[in-house]
Amino acid sequence: MSATAGSAQRATRSRVRADPLLLWILIFTTIGFLDAAYLTYVHYYGLGSLLCIGASHGHSSCVTVQSSPWSKIDGVPVALLGLIGYVGLFVSYFVTARINGELGRAMGFCIALIGFGFSAYLTYRELFSIHAICEWCVGSAICMTFLVVLTAIRFLRGEPATT
């Protein structure tokens, strides 16, 4: 590892310690990413393997939601769109941690806001169109709710105090 790369990593760790919001953003992004990755995997490799708490007689509300007309947009699974959104949040996290600038904070907030709005729409569809709730989708919606709040605070606050 070069001296420049080592000092960049130390600077990133220092920023995370100085700004706990970055740590919480990373935690919720990781949880949401894993959630969306699992749903994307299940979409492409079989809904029969979907693990859900409320499953009875081999069928669950998760399968109902995941096989509904609202589970895809123009043939693209919404789980894959969520996965792409979480990757975008990771990118914004590392842009922010690396350069500590307004661009990364704004990018993170915009991605989280779009994800939150999309999650709200999908939750509406679960409740009023599909009449079933998928706990994996709820988990992602919860992550996006925390992320939109945390990234908004971080964006509005500006640069963190460095120690």
Q: Which residue has the higher pLDDT, 34 or 60?
A: 34
Please report whether residue 162 resides in a domain.
Answer: no
Q: What is the residue range of 101's domain? A: 3-157
Share the mean pLDDT of the chain. Answer: 84
Alpha carbon of residue 90 to chain centroid = 9
CA distance 95 to 117: 23
pTM: 0.82
Please report whether residue 67 resides in a domain.
Answer: yes
Going by the DSSP 8-state scheme, the letter that residue 73 receives in this structure is E
Please report whether residue 98 resides in a domain.
Answer: yes
Number of domains in the chain: 1
Cβ neighbours of residue 134 under 8 Å, at least 6 residues apart? 52, 61, 62, 64, 65, 66, 126
Tell me the CATH number at 93: 1.20.1440.130
Q: Which two tokens stand for residue 69?
A: 């007309």
Q: Which residue has the higher pLDDT, 96 or 147?
A: 147
Please report whether residue 135 resides in a domain.
Answer: yes
Per-residue pLDDT at 10: 55
Per-residue pLDDT at 16: 53
Mean pLDDT of 66-87: 95
Name the percent of the chain lying above pLDDT 70. 78
Please report whether residue 93 resides in a domain.
Answer: yes
Please report whether residue 163 resides in a domain.
Answer: no
Q: Above 70 in pLDDT, residue 53?
A: yes
Mean pLDDT of 114-133: 96
Report which secondary-structure segment, H or E, holds 124. helix 102-125
